[in-house]
Chain A
Amino acid sequence: QKEVEQDPGPLSVPEGAIVSLNCTYSNSAFQYFMWYRQYSRKGPELLMYTYSSGNKEDGRFTAQVDKSSKYISLFIRDSQPSDSATYLCAMMSRGGTYKYIFGTGTRLKVLA
């Protein structure tokens, strides 16, 4: 079993839809949770990060962490064609063994 699981998609939605992207994980030592966006032929860029459980909002993006269920989500409101990209979750543990693991990414297509 992988430490981080992410549905690869592709996920196609119409412009303006609310998008929900998710990751599950198995290692309870993870404390920091990140979302990256990767456009074709580019490197991933950090979108949001959250420490421990709870929600964090930034414009149209909301990151949610549920440590009890080992489940994280990224919501995109009013999705735009420019949001079409691959979204990768990532998780980090500190203290003891340093570990930073990426999910395999979910490909999102927002249709105009």
Chain B
Amino acid sequence: DADVTQTPRNRITKTGKRIMLECSQTKGHDRMYWYRQDPGLGLRLIYYSFDVKDINKGEISDGYSVSRQAQAKFSLSLESAIPNQTALYFCATSDNPGDYGYTFGSGTRLTVV
């Protein structure tokens, strides 16, 4: 099993729909992150959580919300999807404080039509 599992792998949804992307990890890491990746713009941070009770906005949090249900689970919601939220979404985890590398999931390709 993968260390970081994202579901679904692919999703097509309509404008205005609510959608949730889920992430679970078996690394035992406290820190979890949601990124989106767009061509030419790279990886941009949406939200991050350093432990279950800690949620922080990243650089592009508008239009998104998150929930940290447990140490191992971190979900991202689009309350009312719009076409410019079409992107590749990645969940990642990291340890604290000595591990400077992130472990990424395989991503969710989201298309909003």
Contact = CB atoms under 8 A, between A and B. Distances in A.
B42 A34 contact: no
Interface in A1-57: 6, 8, 32, 34, 36, 41-46, 49
Contacts of A44: 43, 90, 102, 104
A43 B90 contact: yes
Contacts of B105: 43
A111 interface: no
Given A42-B106, A43-B92, 11 more contacts: A6-B42, A32-B100, A41-B107, A43-B4, A44-B102, A44-B104, A45-B104, A46-B103, A104-B40, A104-B42, A105-B42
B100 A34 contact: yes
Interface residues of A, number: 19
Contacts, number: 40
B11 to A, nearest CB: 15
Overall SS of chain A's interface: strand
Q: Shortest 7 CB-CB distances between A and B: which pairs?
A: A43-B104, A46-B101, A104-B42, A102-B43, A32-B100, A49-B100, A44-B104
Nearest to B38: A104
B100 to A, nearest CB: 5
A102 B37 CA distance: 10
A49 B106 contact: no
A40 B8 CA distance: 17
A110 interface: no
